[in-house]
Amino acid sequence: MSGIRKTFPGVIALESATFDLESGEVHALVGENGAGKSTLIKILTGVQHQDSGTIELYGSHVTFNSPLDAQQALLATIYQEFTLVPSLSVRANLFLGREKSRAGFLNEREEASKAKRILAKLGLAIDVETSVSELTIAQQQLVEIGRALASDAKILVMDEPTAALTPTEVRALFVVLRELAEQGIGMIFISHRLDEIFEIADRITVLRDGATIETRAASNFTRRQLIELMVGRNIEEEYPKVKTEPKTEGLEVRNLKGSIVQDVSFTANRGEIVGIAGLMGAGRTEVVRMIFGADKLENGTISLDGKKIKASSPREAIAQGICLLTEDRKAQGLILRAAAKDNFALPNLKLWSVLGFIDKAKELSRFQKHVANLKIRISDAEQLAENLSGGNQQKLLVARWLETNSQVVIFDEPTRGIDVGAKYEMYLLIGELALQGKVVIVVSSELPELLGICDRILVMRRGRVAGEITDVRTAKQDDVMALAV
């Protein structure tokens, strides 16, 4: 791809961007949200068409006017959101839209035979007639790759392929990707997880503000260099750490039980950041959802500032100063098709109501104050939440809860799906909340993140607290994993 330019009304999405991919390599494409990655990939896959510039494939100029054109050129895209049909079998999903037939009749035997070969190539030991709904997330990810192989794709575009995978599953996926590379398949790898990029990528291209900033071998980048190229400024430290003075009283949880959670007890003081680590399924999310009243609490007590509280529903938790930023902000936090201002207002309408009528001027004034304080990048108050970047969506949720004067702020995967620059801003915000004397709890799958910003880390395993990391300054990821497995 050379000299790619793409504009939208009032916006230059790409300006003379370049990108190339060699057979048998993994080439990472990185940049902040809004850098132009999605637009570049949409042009490559025929979803959009460039205003100018050229695409060359195997030495010949090509024009993709539709995704079908790209597919026929043996190019396949694996999106972050799975496109599998859960009710169909693995075999049916592999060949969906490209069914094998003979004399007009579906040839399931031929499909099954090829499906078995594809699954074997992926190291996936499952029956091809198994329903996709019965598979784990990691298995579904491999089936998505299998669909691409079933179409004989020579180029794979992977958008955040590890977002829902555990560290063990990520390692298994990377084994498969390396094997595919050895077979001559070229892969474009898009991810915000820099550790994974350095592990799997042969080369890295950095996009910023729609332009290609740098392309070089992954081994020739340092982590700090890559971050600074992405954000366009010097970064003193990746994980800014605030100096807080934890107070004695805060949140106290005793003998929580429910769902998969078994006898969980811990404290989180005001003015400190407490992390919760653990493998997927360890009970991290379930614990914080119980504290927030979103999951049923079968036994145990929750106290705030020495007083027992009852939170049998999110409404009760919010009224008592507890808030939760969920791990899936799009499904559980925001109304995507509603205006940013309306999303901010949802739990706060009573604060601005007089005799049942909402004071619109006060609502807008409070919204604008938080937008300014949190540096939320937004065109206007009516901009739809779905059109905000991941980082700004997350800030919008923080603004919502700050308006309720929440004293316990719980983040579940606070930086999932947001770029490195927005992550830095989120870390600063989390630190600022602790400085204000709030109780801050952070649940994360990103161990460097927890070690970088937290004062203490609780490690969960099989529904229980398996241990605690108190000296995060000297602790290593292996120390956390030793408790988690």
Cβ atoms within 10 Å, residue 449: 21
pLDDT exceeds cutoff 70 at 103? no
Residue-wise pLDDT for 405-460, tens only, equals: 899 999 999 988 788 888 888 999 999 999 999 999 999 988 999 999 999 999 99
Answer yes or no: is pLDDT of 100 > 70: no
The band of 485, judged by pLDDT with boundaries at 50, 70 and 90, is confident
Buried b / exposed e over 54-80, threshold 16 CB at 10 Å, is ebebeeeeeebeeeeebbebebbbbee
Residue ranges in 232-337 assigned as alpha helix (H): 284-291, 314-319
Overall average pLDDT of the 94-114 stretch: 77
CA distance 344 to 79: 29
Range ranked top by mean pLDDT from 50-64, 97-111, 169-183, 386-400:
50-64
d(CA 363, CA 344) in angstroms, rounded, equals 9
Burial of 276 (0-12, 13-18, 19+ CB in 10 A): buried
- pLDDT at 101 > cutoff 70: no
Give me the residues paired with residue 309 across strands: 302
| Nearest residue to 96 (alpha-carbon basis) of 59, 58, 146 | 146
Confidence (pTM): 0.74
- Contact status, residue 225 vs residue 235, Cβ threshold 8 Å: no
pLDDT in tens, 232-278: 887 777 888 777 776 778 999 999 999 899 999 999 999 999 999 99
Arithmetic mean of pLDDT, 185-209: 94
Which of 327, 275, 272, 323 is closest to 442 using CA atoms?
A: 275
- Per cent of the chain over pLDDT 90 is 60
Residues in the chain: 485
In the chain the domains, ranked by start, together with CATH numbers, are 2-231 (3.40.50.300), 250-484 (3.40.50.300)
What radius of gyration, in Å, describes the C-alpha atoms of the chain? 24
